[in-house]
Structure 1
Amino acid sequence: MNSAAAFIHHLAFLAIMLMLSSEMLLLKQTLTLESAKRIIRYDAIYGMAAGFVLVIGGLRVMYFEKGAYYYMHSAPFFAKMALFILVGLISIYPTMTFLKWNKSIKQGILPNVTEAQTRTLRLIIHVELTLLGLMILCAVLMAKGIGYIGN
């Protein structure tokens, strides 16, 4: 079960990275009705994957791997959690923007998105991807026991 939980956890994290990368690539192109629909779909998958990462990660901390005691004494674990929360907070703006597009898309109308808005969305996604990369570094440090505080 430990390996299955790890696999699902890592797969969900990969899905987050892929969905954000896909959103960013679509935002680099001229927005069409179809690409706007895809962005909304990818953002929904991103949200579901983040939920899986959180739930499966919590189960791994409490029931699998090294046990909760180990993680509660790991500085990289706390850094990783802080980064996860930060990415979640940063992602609110793009998600709310994409959800606002739904009304016009359902009417078959392309959302009105300025170049400045597109740049802002892409910048936020770049930041999210960078922070997610730092989470990978934290996971490696955590797994190797680097930054362990305690006995």
Structure 2
Amino acid sequence: MLDLVLAIVHHLLVFGLAIMLAMELAYLRADPVPIARLSRLDAGYGAVAALIVVIGVCRVIWGAKGWVAYQANPFFWAKIATFVVIGLLSIAPTIQFVRWSRALRADPGFRPPPTEVSRAALWVRIEVLLLLPLVAFAAAMARY
């Protein structure tokens, strides 16, 4: 039963992460960009990503398959690598959102320059695209 609960929570968190990325893209298309909301959403995105790691580790340790099933699975490692890349790519927009939040606190009329908004949106779009191989690796991993 623990394995089922961990799998359900893990999947719900991953779906939540995808939704949060879609929301970030929507906020980056808004005029003006809702900086405060975007910053809170991005903080939540980081928290959900951390929870995915925690639950994933729990699945590896206490799940039905156990570590032995994962350690030799190339799709598991590809999925982990893709998740790490997504996490690293998320740093650039997060830094930008923090800068915008600071600028907004200093000047309530602050609006981020369109070039910065476009750059942040590009990073988030790349993160979204990398969810495709991540899901493919997860499906392949389960069948290896």
User: Which range, TM-score by smaller chain?
Assistant: over 0.9
State the Cα deviation string for residues 29-75 of structure 1 (Å, max 9, x = none). 2124xx11111111011001000100000110111031111111111
Match of 2:141 in 1: 142
Quote the Cα distance in structure 2 between the aligned partners of 1:81 and 1:22. Answer: 24
Match of 2:90 in 1: 91
Match of 2:60 in 1: 61
Give 1:110 deviation, angstroms.
4.1
Quote the Cα distance in structure 1 between the aligned partners of 2:21 and 2:119. Answer: 14
1:39 maps to a residue whose letter is L
Task: Note closer, same or farther for the CA distance 1:22–1:110 as it changes in structure 2 (3 Å cut).
Answer: farther
Mean alpha-carbon deviation: is it higher for 60-69 or for 79-88? 60-69
Match of 1:123 in 2: 122
Mean alpha-carbon deviation: is it higher for 42-51 or for 107-116? 107-116
Conservation of the 8 A alpha-carbon contact between 2:70 and 2:76: yes
Quote the Cα distance in structure 1 between the aligned partners of 2:134 and 2:64. Answer: 18
**What's the % identity of the aligned pairs?**
30
Quote the Cα distance in structure 2 between the aligned partners of 1:93 and 1:31. Answer: 20
Match of 1:149 in 2: none
Quote the Cα distance in structure 2 between the aligned partners of 1:107 and 1:3. Answer: 48
Paired residue secondary structure (1:65): coil
The count of aligned residue pairs is 143
Quote the Cα distance in structure 1 between the aligned partners of 2:22 and 2:109. Answer: 22
Q: Does 1:7 align with 2:23?
A: no
Task: Note closer, same or farther for the CA distance 1:137–1:100 as it changes in structure 2 (3 Å cut).
Answer: same
Conservation of the 8 A alpha-carbon contact between 2:13 and 2:48: yes
Give 1:105 deviation, angstroms.
2.9
Match of 1:148 in 2: none
Give 1:108 deviation, angstroms.
5.6
Quote the Cα distance in structure 2 between the aligned partners of 1:70 and 1:110. Answer: 55
In angstroms, what is the RMSD of aligned CA positions?
Answer: 1.4
